[in-house]
Amino acid sequence: MSNEHPAFELVTSAEIESLGVEVLEYRHRKTGAQHLHIAADNPENVFLVALRTVPHDSTGVAHILEHTALCGSDKYPVRDPFFMMIRRSLNTFMNAFTSSDWTAYPFASQNRKDFANLLDVYLDAVFFAKLDPLDFAQEGHRLEFAESENPDSELVYKGVVYNEMKGAMSSVGSQLWQTLSKYLFPTTTYHYNSGGEPADIPDLTYEQLLNFYRTHYHPSNAIFMTYGDIPAAQHQAVFEEQALHKFEPLDKIIAVGREKRYQAPLAVEEHYPLSSEEGLKEKTHIVLAWLLGDVTDLEEALTAHLLAGVLLDNSASPLMKLLETTDLGTAPSPLVGLDDSQRELVFVCGIEGSERERADEFEQQVIAVLEDVAKNGIPYEQVAASLHQLELQQREITGDGYPFGLQLILTALTGATHRGDAIGLLNIDATLEKLREQIKDPRFIADTARKLLLQNPHRVRLVLSPDDELADRRSAAEKARLAEIKSRLSEEEKQQIVETAKALLERQQREDDPSILPKVGVEDIPAEMPKVEGETVALGPQKLTRYAAGTNGLVYQQLVCALPDLTEEEKQLLPYYCQILSEVGLGERNYLEVQQWQTRVAGSLHGFSSSRTAIDDLHNLNGHFVLSGKALAANQAALTELMVATIEEVRFDELPRIKELLLQTLARREQGVVGNGHALAMAAASAGYNRAAFESHATGGLLGLRQLKAMTRGFDSEHTLEKLARQLQAIHNKIRSAERRFLLIGEDDKLSQFSNALMPLVNGAEAQTSLSSAPFDPHRIQQLWLANSQVNFCAKAYATVPMAHEDAAPLAVLGGFLRNGFLHRTIREQGGAYGGGASHDSNIGVFRFYSYRDPRMADTLKDFDASLEWLQDGKHQESQVEESILGVVGGLDKPGSPAGEAKKAFHSELYGRTHEIRQEFRRRVTEVTLEDLQRVGSTYLKPELASTAVVTGSQGREAGLELGLEEERL
């Protein structure tokens, strides 16, 4: 029942049974601000305020404004309230995003006092930002001399967003999407890069930033969104009192118009930078993209989603089958699928690992597949299976990445942004039911494919080819631009640049009084961490652990095997075995038939392996293989049958399929290097300390990527593939005969029935131990990994202790202490990196420093060391320790989805991390003192013992070699 504040009026509401929520839409009477409230019986409350931001160039104005707005406000005139609040809070999520047509400021917390504190700070930051010119210089862009006080040295560009976008646009996937958007959207805001193109960012002036803020950051252009068990009226009282009553309505409507349509398809070619050392052969991307209908038309959007699913859901889907098997490329494009994040839907399909002269033939192949679909349709069972996947996505309560409430909010935000039916995007059951009726017509999908794709002339074919001189040309253009700017500078202007750099440094080094900001303290931490209760029962001779959870009609089940004794070569192949297991044929079914079977009965089915050290011994490594599935409850027996077939009847004789899968994996992992460079650098730096750290680097890290590249180079030989198939079968034979145990998660009233249905998976194997204490020779690492990146990712690592050791808790707290007090300022604010920090991984017993999208290398590595001197010599407050404790506890207590929480509890117990042990570790964290931090710092973090790894591009090679790092190539 609605109970709004007098300043708001209720517009509409809806109960959404499938999600267990009520959604209410309100309008602020005076300014017209929207408020969408999702009422749920969930103590993790979520807030988001979004502004429609519609840039008309690629200077990154919306993105830079997002950063700068969080650098101080009227009520909180400190330099960095956002990052200061992160460490004064028990938040479960806190961030800010710039999308292509909105900017959003979300947070979540389970603590009411904390939620109120964060809401207070966020409202002031968004609507009453200071926007200091020095913050614009720090976060956006500025000119500095390479030697900051020497006007005779060369000019350089600096700025956090400038370097962030240099890193972001190093990703081929980002370049592909941005280039495609430029042609798909010739007249609307999506034509431009809202994050900012590095070459265009320096064109943005401070006055343009202010003008954009005045028009876009106004309540009339705002969407307030909330989720949880705090009543809507309570939120609205705060919105009104702290912000809205101070504003008059805006006399301007900010919106994205409909795109002007092409009358004929467009074919374009552009280039991306790639070093010739990486080889230019078969590195071209070819993509086809169509502009479809309005995202706010629910029926049109879901029909497009269904068509995309039918065409691309799995390897047996007609278009995905082409993309995976065509000899014109090595893998499907990373952009494949339907994008519904903008005003109009975009359908994309394409390939990578191709050549530009193959574009015509590839386009003909795609059109031929679509014409076949339009002529002959798709069997009803396949269409129904794709609709089943849509229903599963709607029903599943997620929240293991973002909070569940935030995921719902972001789903609705697209509709709200374009003043459409935001509630409808959440309440899709009626439209799904209509689609169930429509697909009974055998012509429905055929006619939809013809209408949306074949008869749609707004189609773009983009060929994105590598150019080994492009990076040098861009670098030369930037240097020439800076040299030309410098040549026109008067002495007074040169001195102004020097003074601005000095003023910014002084501002960055200024110690603000944090006491003006609200906070929670250790006294606000709940005494007990949340506990998930399950029960372990016998399933024949083996064990089943089951959890009752609110899964909204889904069931989750896992078959878990203790990892048998594998050879070193088998360990390297284990990740690929896990991936291939559910992607190949079973018994008499080939892989295409299996893919259709999976789509029909399961939400997902996949294998993975995990390993942990013992809680008190880093040399004892315990590992498991897991076959994990989920399905609608009605399909549990069918899911179990599929899992039995997967483990008992898998066949590794489809050699072309295995080759295809591994080439796709290679493509994804190569593209992921730049986005995940800091984690890969940390894994490389840690790899010399123990077997657990080495195996992480050798499977999921850069070493594993290099080994995968080497393996795929031999795939032209049938003998190589046959040998690999035999090795995969050998791994499978060992796993199949290993002892099994089972995990089951579902709604309480169905658990017994579900448990009995798992009996066919029992194999009766006896218990065995997989503890490994194979010898390992610890050694320091000093490595420079070269990748296709314009920025650096730096890491240093130190050997430490496992979880049960008394020093593990202070080491966990030390990471946040060094980040909050020193590294954030030196690495991000002064150094210009997008991020940097430190953390302790007690599973491998390693403390790691890292930087992310970093223009520097040597100075960053020095800053890591300088933070340790600061730790011992600086004048620190106990409040700084408390802030870091809050961060660690917030991470430990962060909730997941109901099923995710149960999985986390089970797998923690599996590796000896019982609730009691984790609770004890949490208790020790809350009692850490400054003396503890200084003691563990001096004991374990001695710079002469550090291992170092840097991921960089060709521009950083010389600097890395000068530091004595050994060059490593992928």
- Contacts of residue 82, defined as CB under 8 A and 6 or more positions apart, other chains included, come to 70, 71, 94, 96, 121, 125
- For the question of residue 66 being annotated catalytic, the response is yes
The DSSP-derived string for 664-685 is HHHHHHHHHHHHTHHHHHHHHH
Q: How many CA atoms lie within 13 A of 675 on its CB side?
A: 10
- The CATH number of 8-255+489-514 is which of 3.40.1350.10, 3.40.50.720, 3.30.830.10, 3.40.1260.10? 3.30.830.10
Contact 627/699 with Cβ under 8 angstroms? no
Query: What tokens were used for 545?
Result: 């652990």
Torsion on CA atoms 499, 500, 503, 508, rounded to nearest 10: -140
Q: Please report, for the chain, how many H helices and E strands are present, in that order.
A: 33, 28
C-alpha 332/C-alpha 176 separation (Å) is 13
Q: Are strands 142-145 and 102-109 parallel, antiparallel or unpaired?
A: unpaired
Contact 404/398 with Cβ under 8 angstroms? yes
- Long-range CB contact pairs, 665-670, < 8 A, 24+: 665/576, 665/579, 665/708, 666/331, 666/705, 666/708, 666/709, 666/712, 667/330, 667/331, 667/334, 667/352, 667/353, 668/331, 668/334, 669/705, 669/708, 670/705, 670/970
Element (H, E) at 26: strand 21-28
Q: Are strands 782-786 and 835-841 parallel, antiparallel or unpaired?
A: unpaired
Q: Could you tell me the CA-to-CA distances from 893 to 161, 199, 527 in Å, in that order? A: 31, 42, 11
- Contacts of residue 225, defined as CB under 8 A and 6 or more positions apart, other chains included, come to 35, 36, 37, 38, 46, 47, 48, 49, 50, 409, 412, 413, 416
Q: Which CATH class is domain 266-399+420-467?
A: alpha beta
User: Strands, DSSP E only, in 235-342?
Assistant: 266-273, 284-294, 331-332, 337-339
C-alpha 364/C-alpha 237 separation (Å) is 59
Using DSSP's 3-state secondary structure scheme, residue 715 falls into coil
- Contacts of residue 258, defined as CB under 8 A and 6 or more positions apart, other chains included, come to 188, 294, 343, 344
Using DSSP's 3-state secondary structure scheme, residue 429 falls into helix
Query: What tokens were used for 374?
Result: 């339009």
Using DSSP's 3-state secondary structure scheme, residue 762 falls into coil
C-alpha 647/C-alpha 559 separation (Å) is 9
Catalytic residue among 4, 25, 44, 66: 66
Q: Which amino acid is at 800?
A: T
Query: What tokens were used for 703?
Result: 């070493």
C-alpha 308/C-alpha 913 separation (Å) is 42
Q: Could you tell me the CA-to-CA distances from 608 to 340, 427, 580, 626, 629 in Å, in that order? A: 30, 34, 10, 5, 11
C-alpha 428/C-alpha 306 separation (Å) is 13
**Across the chain, which distance is largest between two alpha carbons, in Å?**
86
Question: Helices (DSSP H) in 396-521: which residue ranges?
Answer: 404-417, 429-438, 444-449, 470-487, 491-509
Per-residue pLDDT of 714-744, as tens digits, reads 887 888 999 999 999 999 999 999 999 999 9
Torsion on CA atoms 247, 251, 254, 258, rounded to nearest 10: 150
Query: What tokens were used for 16?
Result: 């959404």
Helix 691-699, helix 702-713: angle, nearest 10: 50
Backbone φ and ψ for 686, nearest 5 degrees, come out as: -85, -15
Q: Is domain 535-761 in CATH 3.30.830.10, yes or no? A: yes
Query: How many Å is the Cα radius of gyration of the chain?
Result: 28
- Per this entry, what is the length of the chain? 970
| Region(s) of the chain under CATH 3.30.830.10 | 8-255+489-514, 266-399+420-467, 535-761, 780-969
Helix 112-127, helix 232-242: angle, nearest 10: 40
Beta bridge partners of 267: 461
Question: Which pTM was predicted?
Answer: 0.89
Other C-beta atoms lying within 10 Å of the C-beta of residue 626: 18
Residues of the chain with pLDDT under 70: 1-2, 399-400, 767-774
Using DSSP's 3-state secondary structure scheme, residue 259 falls into coil
Per-residue pLDDT of 19-44, as tens digits, reads 889 999 999 999 999 999 999 999 99
CA nearest neighbour of 349 among 485, 452, 460, 193:
460
Average pLDDT, the chain: 93
Backbone φ and ψ for 12, nearest 5 degrees, come out as: -165, 165
CA nearest neighbour of 851 among 951, 720, 947:
951
Per-residue pLDDT of 99-157, as tens digits, reads 999 999 999 999 999 999 999 999 999 999 999 999 999 999 999 998 878 888 999 99
Q: Per CATH, which fold does 780-969 belong to?
A: Cytochrome Bc1 Complex; Chain A, domain 1 (3.30.830)
Contact 692/613 with Cβ under 8 angstroms? yes
- Long-range CB contact pairs, 869-875, < 8 A, 24+: 870/821, 870/822, 871/814, 871/817, 871/818, 871/822, 871/933, 871/934, 871/937, 872/934, 872/937, 872/938, 874/821, 874/822
